A and B are shown apart, each in its own frame.
Chain A
Amino acid sequence: MAIIEINNATKYYGSIKALDNVSIKVEKGQIHGLIGVNGSGKTTLIKALVGIDTLTSGELKVFGENVFENPSIKARIGYVADRNRFFKYYTVDKLIKFYTEIYPTFSIEKFDKYNQIMQLPKKKSINALSKGMQMRLSLMLNLSRNPEVLVLDEPTSGLDVIAKKEILGFIINEVEEREMTVLISSHHLSELEMLCDDMTMINKGIVTSQSTVSQMKEQIKKLQVVFKNPIEMNALNDEFILDVTNVGSIYYIVTSNIENTEQKLKALDVSIVEEIPMNIEEIFVHTNKSKENNI
């Protein structure tokens, strides 16, 4: 049984459809990435997942139970928001005490161990912390709770390069040691590429792609091509060719069906065809572009 099961999740805000039949499954000990542009529905889905908001229709279960208004399940889920708003007049110390009282699994020793690296002043008021420091605080508090599921919404925003590396390292350690299940959304796709087992791409509330990182990389390929003779750009118009750019006589072709495209290129008298690697960010851009064109 999957730890996180989202089936046909739909959410309306008035007449606006924020989520449209989204289905995701995350197994125990997996790190699942959720990628999408601003306003694609990631935060809406995440808020429903941690019990802050409800869905209009569909099903959302963690550990086989509904999350909304379910304190026993919520106690097992850690949540790091994109903007962490804690009680303004609390100090870091008081917030730690608050967490200790609410979550029996909270470990102050673990928090101190993380804080040796993060160096947050404990006596400081939450209000006085910068956005990056509040994010670090939220991460440390949630990791110190030892949650079985950790949900993160843009956790690396506002963090410097070193802090990002440390945080992602903490998450990977927790997954390896305790088989913690993670759902993470981010704009920084290069980080997700290194971190995630599976990914879901979401655009305008609709799932556009869902697979492992390696499967995603198999879906779209980039070819570096040189033709024997100059050709017209519209000769490369094809349902599988997503994008064509050229620098002088070198053409870069992005395709969703490499076999079909290679056959087409042979027919166009190509002299050099070379596959070049694509990162997740490029795959994401081209996937979204192709979906928009189809719409």
Chain B
Amino acid sequence: MKTLIKHEIKNLMAFIIIFFSGAIIMGGTGLSFAAHKYNDFITNDELKFIISNDIDSDLLSTLQSILEQSQVYIIGLILFMIYFQFKEIKDANVSEFIFSLPFTAKTILTVKILVGVSILTLSSIIVGIFFCVSYLNLAPIFNELRDIHPLGEGYAQIHSFFSYIAILIRFLLNMLTCYLFFVMTQFLVKKTGPSIIISILGLMAIPYILYAINFFSFSSNKSVVIGIFFNDIVQILHEILYFESERIQTVVAVGNEWYQQYICIYNVSFIELTLIFMNLFFLSVSFYLVEKIGFTRFEYFTCSKNLDIILKVLVTICCAILPVYQTITFTRINFASLIVMIISAGIGYFVINKIITKEIEKEGGTI
């Protein structure tokens, strides 16, 4: 296994360099902001900070937004990394050489996941080190300002060193969830590239279909229920990806003056627990499927005949819905739109069926 790990690390060396460099840049950005704040405090008088509503929340929210904004780029990198990890074992002829080696498929998968997860974790740790250094250098200033600011007690209670750890934990869990989800989908679809593309399209299809169903519901009750369900999903996704946490309002009276502030609480919560269970679920499915079908023993386009059928049905539905969006944008829905929907569904089914059949025939599988 040690040899496999060394090989995997060599395989992903470019990604290790990119991730670690990115982590240093992200951490460095946070650190330079903290240094800027520190210089500001040294060169300016305390009054500016006292009358400002933002004390250490400025630092925490800045670090949080660095993590939020970088997520999109990191997800893209993760997709490329997964493609490189699994291309060798799934698509290329070199897979036969790998399978002839004295390792089980489970061992090979364990090594790949171990290295992938380690890269993400170590990158987060690098970012975390920079963030912690930023906080620790500014901590004496925060304490000083909290002593004299009317809302300082609130900040002292809510914003702590653990708040910084909490946002890093959320960031890491988001990245791990993304990574393990796409690892799992490698065992749902035969080819490496198509599995990534179909997974992304599958995720996009959920709001795509729900919104159209919402629009299509003529009954006001159904529309409200679906609308609420749709909004709930969007809300949850927003909380996960944008690190949204509980906000509390703090109000303090000093003499005749009232001070009010919304303070965000960053903590390990139900969302983190959900993400951990999702990751465990993705891992379980991956290991179950690697035992059942390995990396290349697909008889169908996907891992089972039923999933092939589900894929065809979903593509047909998505194509059928396409004219709805055209109608939403330009006109009301009418009889002509319904005809277009049926034709669009037929074309969609024909195309996906052709793709699946061709792929299966090429590999000598079962239609």
Give A contacts to B, CB under 8 Å: 13-16, 47, 50-54, 69, 71-72, 74-75, 79, 81, 83-88, 98, 101-103
Contacts and interface: CB of A to CB of B under 8 A. Distances in A.
B99 A71 contact: no
B299 interface: yes
A15 B366 contact: yes
Contact of A75 (B88, B102, B105): B102
B297 A53 contact: yes
Contacts of B6: 101
Contacts of A51: 99-100
Contact of A101 (B2, B94, B107): B2
Interface in B74-111: 88, 92-94, 96-97, 99-105, 107
Contact of B3 (A54, A69, A72, A101): A101
B37 to A, nearest CB: 46
B94 A83 contact: no
Contacts, number: 59
Contact of A87 (B7, B102, B103): B7
B356 interface: no
Contacts of B97: 81, 84-87
B365 interface: yes
B94 A88 contact: yes
Contacts of A102: 3, 101-102
Which of B2, B99, B299 has its CB near the most chain A CB atoms (within 10 A)?
A: B99
A12 B301 CA distance: 17
Contacts of B297: 53-54
Contacts of A98: 3, 7
B360 interface: yes
Given A14-B299, A53-B99, A101-B3, 20 more contacts: A13-B365, A14-B360, A14-B366, A16-B364, A51-B100, A52-B99, A52-B100, A71-B102, A72-B102, A74-B101, A74-B103, A81-B97, A81-B100, A84-B97, A85-B92, A85-B93, A86-B94, A88-B94, A102-B3, A102-B102
A235 B63 CA distance: 97
B94 A52 contact: no
A87 B89 CA distance: 11
Contacts of B102: 71-72, 74-75, 102-103
B367 interface: yes
Contacts of A16: 364
B100 A14 contact: no
Contacts of B88: 87
Contacts of A75: 102
Contact of B105 (A14, A53, A69, A74): A69
A69 B103 CA distance: 7
Contacts of A101: 2-3, 6
Contacts of A72: 102
Contacts of B367: 14
B105 A47 contact: no
13 contacts: A14-B367, A50-B100, A52-B99, A53-B297, A74-B102, A81-B96, A85-B96, A87-B7, A101-B3, A101-B6, A102-B3, A102-B101, A102-B102
B295 to A, nearest CB: 11
Given A79-B100, A83-B93, A87-B94, A13 B105 contact: no
A68 to B, nearest CB: 9
